[in-house]
Amino acid sequence: MDLKTTHVWRRPTLGAVAALAGVSTATVSNALNGTGRVSEATRQRVIAAARELGHAPASTARAVASGSTGVLGLTMTTYGDLPVSYTEIPYYGQLALGAMAAAHERGYMLMVMPSSLSPWMWLSTPMDGVIHVGPRADDPVRSLLRERGIPIVSEGRPCRPCPGDAWVDADHDAGLRLALDHLAQAGARRIALTLPVHDDTYPHLVEQAYVSWCAERDVPILVERYASLPDYFTTEQTAAGLLLDRGPRPDAVVGVYSDSGHNILAAARHHGLRVPRDLLVACISEDPDYATTTPPVTAVSLRPDRVGEEAVDLLIALINERTGVDRRRLVQPELVLRRSTHGLSSSSPGSAG
Amino acid sequence: MDLKTTHVWRRPTLGAVAALAGVSTATVSNALNGTGRVSEATRQRVIAAARELGHAPASTARAVASGSTGVLGLTMTTYGDLPVSYTEIPYYGQLALGAMAAAHERGYMLMVMPSSLSPWMWLSTPMDGVIHVGPRADDPVRSLLRERGIPIVSEGRPCRPCPGDAWVDADHDAGLRLALDHLAQAGARRIALTLPVHDDTYPHLVEQAYVSWCAERDVPILVERYASLPDYFTTEQTAAGLLLDRGPRPDAVVGVYSDSGHNILAAARHHGLRVPRDLLVACISEDPDYATTTPPVTAVSLRPDRVGEEAVDLLIALINERTGVDRRRLVQPELVLRRSTHGLSSSSPGSAG
């Protein structure tokens, strides 16, 4: 048999290998794992049996019947076919690592795929299911996978909900409210928001949460939008600058993308404002650098590691056609308090600095 | 054709798809990527052509001839079949993310595999090559992959070098010397080392570097060893405590595993020693938590992201049988200075605290 041809990875049971090799399951385990005392002849017999059972060509009826590859795919197509190194963005990197640990714990491999809409990859890569991060409206990858009958779990709520959808998302409403409540407690009365323009659901969810929160408290709605592509360093700094030019000036600015804290700090410096004495700053981000900025920046963590873990859990349930599974799951964000929101000098003079 | 059977992912050229669909390559690109203006009928024709060319059963002679799956595997088997969530350890997580970004940039998928010696997975998962992290002496995974003719790049030098080896490793000698030189400059004269007991090459390389450095400067060699499995929290704290019990006491302790800084700080607290006034502490670690410990701990970063990137670069060169490739690559570590090594009170009184 040509070992270079492609085969499905099916996981035969210890019992099946033991029966074929004529040994106990304990011996199979020892032989395959290099533990205990097993003669070399027995080890070879066990490996031959494992190979025979686990190594049938994919085209055989048996392999098709079992069908399992042991592989879960993961990709992000939020930015279409732009070559985005998404795993270098802290949120996506931590999501991938969380999904990886959960997949490994359950005996699956995690195949992390490039951000690409190429149908070639989607049509022919062997996998049992896919975690689709940040799908767009009418995302072509979804129809390609549906055509193959491959289960999908989305990270992020689909733009247009369908009955069969399965998704895991951070509770963005709860996350933004954690930041806003904390800023209000720290003395802020005019809390502004910089908001990216993009057609995924995230900016809309954040905007809804912000507008509702302001309406509930009868405080002003202060929003500036910025273009998020190809990058948002300059555009968000400009948007934050426009907010700080307003009269009366906001006493806090919240940003919702990974680099927002850096961008708002830069705008504050440009306006000669000291954080947190003159202005409070917070953002939604997983970037560990905020622990060491000047000042360190308070951030909402969306817990992408837990989003990845829940997505794997749900995907494996779908692959195994488990019933009674919760197909829509929200992960609770956490607030990481740092000096950028220690309190305004006018409202709480003792706590500044 | 049953879409659930397994197929090799071959990447047909734009030209081949264009020729089959009877359109220009620009139209193929637009149709597959959702860019430009393409009628729905043309888009369907292009996708059908791409599907036909990229979707042949793996058993056909053509697929075997091209052989490519577009998949690079990655695993760690340092701890044998112990179910280690290795990607949750900062070094391995960052290595996986670095490899991921590099693979994606070159159009490959990265399949991250559980830490397992199971021959089933190794014998039958389709992949073009494997990055094998932390191989042990006589690692069974290596012979399984060699049997399949799959190229391997090791992270970490093999315990027993062979002529054909291809590996990428951090320059551990240079990394430890960065820490030792810095401690000597900060006033330390008796620099001790806590050393894990494990049969991979890392502890041996670190020990060699330490002993050579001490011999070159004619300073005392102060080493305590600790068991590294199943975990080293207690064992390393005990080892650090034994070092601090010695007379005369060391004025600096260096640890070489991810949690070593935490363990040595705990031992110092237990001995009533203040860091850095009474004792300097440094470690080799990628853990971002050292930025916010009390005090923050100076660490050598082995740049696992760059190790992962170099490993992907080398692996793709081997897969494509490129000649004149450097098969043994060292990545230069970096020192991240923090307060735990600001200087001893006796040698530089002004800088302590």
* HEC secondary structure over B233-299: HHHHHHHHHHHHHCCCCCCEEEECCCCHHHHHHHHHHHCCCCCCCCCEEEEECCCHHHHCCCCCCEE
pLDDT at residue B61, rounded to an integer: 28
Assigned token pair, B277: 């006034």
Q: What is the mean pLDDT of residues B144-155?
A: 88
CA–CA distance, B235 with B194 (Å, rounded to integer): 10
Residue B64 pLDDT > 50: no
Alpha helices in A55-192 (DSSP H): 61-66, 90-105, 119-124, 140-148, 172-185
Q: What is the mean pLDDT of residues B324-345?
A: 93
pLDDT at residue B346, rounded to an integer: 59
Same domain, yes or no: A318 and A292: no
High-pLDDT (> 90) share of chain B, %: 54
DSSP annotation of A333 reads P
- CB contact under 8 Å between A104 and B93, yes or no, is no
CA distance A96 to chain B (A): 8
DSSP annotation of B34 reads T
> Please, what is the Cα angle at A311 between A310 and A312, to 5 degrees?
90
Assigned token pair, A125: 């890569």
Q: Compute CA distances A283 → A187, A286, B78, B225, whole Å.
A: 17, 9, 39, 44
pLDDT at residue B81, rounded to an integer: 63
Assigned token pair, A279: 């202005």
CA–CA distance, B180 with B220 (Å, rounded to integer): 13
Residue B111 pLDDT > 50: yes
Assigned token pair, B330: 């060292």
pLDDT at residue B189, rounded to an integer: 96
Residue written as tokens 């990859």?
Answer: A121
Q: Is B104 on the interface with A (CB under 8 A)?
A: yes
Residue written as tokens 């956490």?
Answer: A334
* Residue of A69, A85, A114 with shortest CB distance to B6: A69
Same domain, yes or no: A275 and A311: no
Asked if residue B141 is part of any domain, the answer here is: yes
CA–CA distance, B184 with B217 (Å, rounded to integer): 10
Cβ-Cβ contacts under 8 Å, B34 against chain A = 80-81, 117, 140
DSSP secondary structure string, A85-104?
-GGGSHHHHHHHHHHHHHHH
CA–CA distance, A29 with A34 (Å, rounded to integer): 8
* Residue of B12, B33, B120 with shortest CB distance to A11: B120
Same domain, yes or no: B270 and B147: no
Q: Compute CA distances A139 → A2, A133, B3, B118, whole Å.
A: 38, 11, 20, 37
DSSP annotation of B7 reads B
Cβ-Cβ contacts under 8 Å, A7 against chain B = 6, 123-124, 126
Position B275 confidence tier, pLDDT thresholds 50, 70, 90: very high
- CB contact under 8 Å between B119 and A32, yes or no, is yes
Q: Which pTM value belongs to this model?
A: 0.77
pLDDT at residue A257, rounded to an integer: 93
CA distance A191 to chain B (A): 28
Mutation target vs A (from B2, B4, B6, B78; most A CBs, 10 A cutoff): B6
What are the tens digits of pLDDT across the range A171-230? Answer: 999 999 999 999 999 999 999 999 999 877 889 999 999 999 999 999 999 999 999 877
Asked if residue B240 is part of any domain, the answer here is: yes
Beta strand pairing status for B152-155 and B109-112?
A: unpaired
Residue B62 pLDDT > 60: no
Cβ-proximal residues to A96 (8 Å cutoff; 6+ apart), any chain:
A74, A87, A110, A112, A308, B96, B97, B100
Asked if residue A222 is part of any domain, the answer here is: yes
Residue A285 pLDDT > 50: yes
Q: Is B119 on the interface with A (CB under 8 A)?
A: yes
Position B221 confidence tier, pLDDT thresholds 50, 70, 90: very high
Find the distance separating the first CA and the last CA of chain B, reported in whole Å. 71
ipTM over 0.90: no
DSSP lists the bridge partners of residue A283 as A255, A299
Q: What is the mean pLDDT of residues A109-129?
A: 81
CA–CA distance, B312 with B152 (Å, rounded to integer): 10
Assigned token pair, A112: 């992390």
Position A51 confidence tier, pLDDT thresholds 50, 70, 90: low
CA–CA distance, B130 with B133 (Å, rounded to integer): 9
pLDDT at residue A346, rounded to an integer: 59
Same domain, yes or no: A111 and A247: no
Beta strand pairing status for A298-301 and A334-336?
A: antiparallel
Mutation target vs B (from A8, A20, A33, A97; most B CBs, 10 A cutoff): A97
| Buried-state track B44-55, b at ≥16 Cβ within 10 A, e below 16 | ebbbebbbebbb
Assigned token pair, A178: 């954690």
CA–CA distance, A130 with A139 (Å, rounded to integer): 14
Query: For residue B106, what is the enclosing H or E element?
Result: none
CA–CA distance, B96 with B84 (Å, rounded to integer): 15
pLDDT at residue A37, rounded to an integer: 73
- CB contact under 8 Å between B120 and A54, yes or no, is yes
CA–CA distance, B40 with A143 (Å, rounded to integer): 15
Q: For position A30, which CATH number holds?
A: 1.10.260.40
pLDDT at residue B58, rounded to an integer: 31
Q: What is the mean pLDDT of residues A148-163?
A: 85
Q: What is the mean pLDDT of residues A9-32?
A: 72
* Residue of B88, B105, B119 with shortest CB distance to A47: B119
Distance of CA B38 to the CA centre of its chain: 44
pLDDT, chain B, mean: 84
Q: Is A133 helix (H, G, I), strand (E, B) or coil?
A: strand
* Residue of B4, B34, B126 with shortest CB distance to A6: B126
Q: Are A244 and A273 in contact (CB under 8 A)?
A: yes
Closest of A186, A141, A173 to residue A282, by C-alpha: A186
CA–CA distance, B253 with B248 (Å, rounded to integer): 14
CA distance B214 to chain A (A): 34
Q: For position A276, which CATH number holds?
A: 3.40.50.2300
Cβ-proximal residues to B314 (8 Å cutoff; 6+ apart), any chain:
B153, B166, B168, B325, B326, B327, B329
Cβ-Cβ contacts under 8 Å, B21 against chain A = none
Distance of CA B275 to the CA centre of its chain: 30
- CB contact under 8 Å between A9 and B121, yes or no, is yes
- CB contact under 8 Å between A97 and B107, yes or no, is no
Beta strand pairing status for A280-284 and A328-331?
A: unpaired
Same domain, yes or no: B326 and B344: no
Assigned token pair, A235: 């555009």
Q: Is A120 on the interface with B (CB under 8 A)?
A: yes
CA distance A252 to chain B (A): 25
Asked if residue A279 is part of any domain, the answer here is: yes
Q: Is B241 on the interface with A (CB under 8 A)?
A: no
Q: Are B97 and B88 in contact (CB under 8 A)?
A: no
Lowest mean pLDDT among A3-12, A304-313, B325-334: A3-12
Closest of B53, A315, A206, B271 to residue B45, by C-alpha: B53
Q: What is the mean pLDDT of residues B234-242?
A: 96
Cβ-proximal residues to B272 (8 Å cutoff; 6+ apart), any chain:
none
Lowest mean pLDDT among A22-26, A256-260, B153-157, B210-214: A22-26
Assigned token pair, A104: 């490994």
Query: Residue B335 region, left (φ>0) first, then alpha (ψ -120 to 50), else beta?
Result: beta
* More confident position, A166 or A147: A166
CA–CA distance, A310 with A326 (Å, rounded to integer): 11
High-pLDDT (> 70) share of chain B, %: 84
pLDDT at residue B138, rounded to an integer: 76
CA–CA distance, B86 with B264 (Å, rounded to integer): 23
Q: Is A140 on the interface with B (CB under 8 A)?
A: yes
Same domain, yes or no: A221 and A344: yes
Same domain, yes or no: B201 and B160: no
Asked if residue A7 is part of any domain, the answer here is: no
pLDDT at residue A36, rounded to an integer: 64
- CB contact under 8 Å between A112 and B108, yes or no, is no
Same domain, yes or no: B98 and B217: no
Same domain, yes or no: B142 and B216: no
Closest chain A residue to B290, measured at CA:
A291
pLDDT, chain A, mean: 84
Position A125 confidence tier, pLDDT thresholds 50, 70, 90: confident
SS3 content of chain B, % helix, strand, coil (to 5): 45, 15, 40
CA–CA distance, B45 with B188 (Å, rounded to integer): 72
Q: Compute CA distances A174 → A27, A169, A222, A302, B88, whole Å.
A: 52, 12, 19, 10, 27
What are the tens digits of pLDDT across the range B172-212? Answer: 999 999 999 999 999 999 999 999 998 778 899 999 999 99
Same domain, yes or no: A222 and A342: yes
* Residue of A50, A97, A114 with shortest CB distance to B120: A50
pLDDT winner (highest mean) among A14-23, A137-146, A172-181, B84-93? A172-181
> Please, what is the Cα angle at A140 between A91 and A137, to 5 degrees?
65
CA distance B271 to chain A (A): 29
* More confident position, A199 or A306: A306
Q: Is B131 helix (H, G, I), strand (E, B) or coil?
A: strand
pLDDT at residue A21, rounded to an integer: 85
- CB contact under 8 Å between A7 and B6, yes or no, is yes
CA–CA distance, B6 with B71 (Å, rounded to integer): 14
Position B4 confidence tier, pLDDT thresholds 50, 70, 90: very low
Closest chain A residue to B77, measured at CA:
A33
Distance of CA A237 to the CA centre of its chain: 25
pLDDT at residue B59, rounded to an integer: 28
pLDDT at residue B7, rounded to an integer: 34
Domain count, chain A: 3
Assigned token pair, B246: 């010695």
* More confident position, A123 or B245: B245
pLDDT at residue A2, rounded to an integer: 31
Using only the alpha carbons of chain B, give its radius of gyration.
Answer: 26
CA–CA distance, B279 with B249 (Å, rounded to integer): 9
CA–CA distance, B21 with B327 (Å, rounded to integer): 42
Asked if residue A2 is part of any domain, the answer here is: no
Asked if residue A1 is part of any domain, the answer here is: no
Position A341 confidence tier, pLDDT thresholds 50, 70, 90: very high
Quick count: other Cβ atoms within 10 Å of Cβ A65? 9
Give residue B210's domain range: 172-302+335-351
What are the tens digits of pLDDT across the range B282-320? Answer: 999 999 899 989 999 999 999 999 999 999 999 999 998
Same domain, yes or no: A278 and A205: yes
Asked if residue A99 is part of any domain, the answer here is: yes
Same domain, yes or no: A107 and A237: no
Q: Is B49 on the interface with A (CB under 8 A)?
A: no
Cβ-Cβ contacts under 8 Å, A81 against chain B = 33-35
DSSP annotation of B78 reads T
